[in-house]
Structure formats: structure tokens, C-alpha cells
Amino acid sequence: MSGEATRPRGGVERPRERADAARNRARVLAAAEKVFAEAGGADGVTMEEIARVAGVGRATLYRRYPDTASIAQALLDEHESEIQAGILSGPPPLGAGAPPHERLAAFYRALVGLLERHLHLVLGAETGQARYRTGVYALWRRHVEVLLEQAHAPTELADTLMAPLAPEVYRYQRQVRGLTPEQVAAGLDFLSRRVLAGNPAER
């Protein structure tokens, strides 16, 4: 939850957010964080439950969020844009300045960190086919595609290289297979090097 202020959504002019509205927004997000954490994902999470824990009416939720997935997404936004900033303007190897395979490995490490810390939220944000709808997926995908280009590897692999970051995959590796985050990251590190490193200019 990291004390984030109300933040009336920067962009075009906006009437201004009323104090009670801001208070409820905070309540809802805090409640959602708690509910998703307890459920360990999206399984038993309903709009009703979140409203009950937040102490607000259901309609108050529906005013801002159409479903539980978009609440989880709102909670993830700040963490995701942190990584996005690191890619665009942070220091290497996540940011520009390192060879492609190191940048990919750094990207994987950052995402494994996000999954480890907020797995329940990422799972909660995946209801339906939501993943490919969020703007951030397209941005990350594009980042990987550029790295593939730079390494002279087929850009068709972009989604393939994104696939291991699906939250259900991470969850399975951690909870069923018993892998540590370090083992997962190490595997992805190996993958990065093998796919992107030392490419003989492909044909």
C-alpha cells in the first residue's frame, strides 16, 4: 500500500476529487489488498467481499471499477510503472547501455521480483483474458521485441519469451515444484543468454 496520496489521475483537466471520494478510494484499495492477499489470488474474491471489508456499498465499487480484476490492476499500476521507468531511463543492465541478453535477464529479474512480492495481485488481475488488455503488457512485449531485433534473433519469439512470466506459471513453479525465486531467475538468465547472446548475425 505504500502511502500513496490520492492522485486525481493526471492528464486533462478534471473537476477535482471530493474528500469523501478520496477516502473511500483509499479504503477500497486497502480492503482489496487485504482480500486478495488472504485469498492468495482471485479465487474467492468478489465485489461484495471487497465492499464488505472496505465498509462501503457495492455500488461505490462499481462506480470506479467494473470488476475485481481492475481493482487488482489499480493496485499493481505503481509497481509496474516503476519497472517501466527502469527500462526506459534507469541504469543498465535494466536500462539502456548493456548488451541485449543482459538487459533481458535484468528484465526477467525485475519481473520475478514483482511476482514474488505481489503474486496474489497479479493473479487477481488476470480474470478473464485481461492480461493482454493492460497497456503495460504491450510495452514490455515491445521491449523484448526490440532486444530480439538487436540480437538478430527472430522477433516472433516475443510472446514466447513473455510467457514464463504468466502468474500461474510462476505460482506453479514456486508452490508446486518448490523452486526458489533465485532458481527461477537463474533459469531465465540461462534462457536469456542462450537465445540472445552471441548471435552469428543469423543467416
* Interface positions with its own copies (CB under 8 A): 43, 128-129, 131-132, 153-154, 156-157, 159-160, 162-164, 166, 168-169, 172-173, 176-177, 179, 183-184, 186-188, 190-191, 194-195
Tallying the residues shown for the chain, one arrives at: 203
- From the CB of 131, what's the least distance to DNA, in Å? 19
- The residue (of 13 and 202) whose beta carbon lies closer to its own copies is 202
Q: Least CB distance from residue 66 to DNA, whole Å?
A: 6
- Using CB under 7 A as the binding rule, whether residue 18 contacts DNA is answered as yes
- DSSP secondary structure letter of residue 152: T
Burial group, residue 51, by CB count within 10 angstroms (0-12, 13-18, 19+): buried
- Residue 98 pairs with which residues in a beta bridge? 96
Asked if 20 touches DNA (CB under 7 A), the answer is yes
Complex with DNA: residue 62 or 132, whichever CB lies closer? 62
Q: Which three cell numbers stand for residue 87?
A: 527500462
Report the number of secondary-structure helices (H) and strands (E) in the chain.
9, 0
SS3 state of residue 194: helix
Residues that bind DNA (CB under 7 A): 15-21, 23-25, 46-49, 55-60, 62-63, 66-68
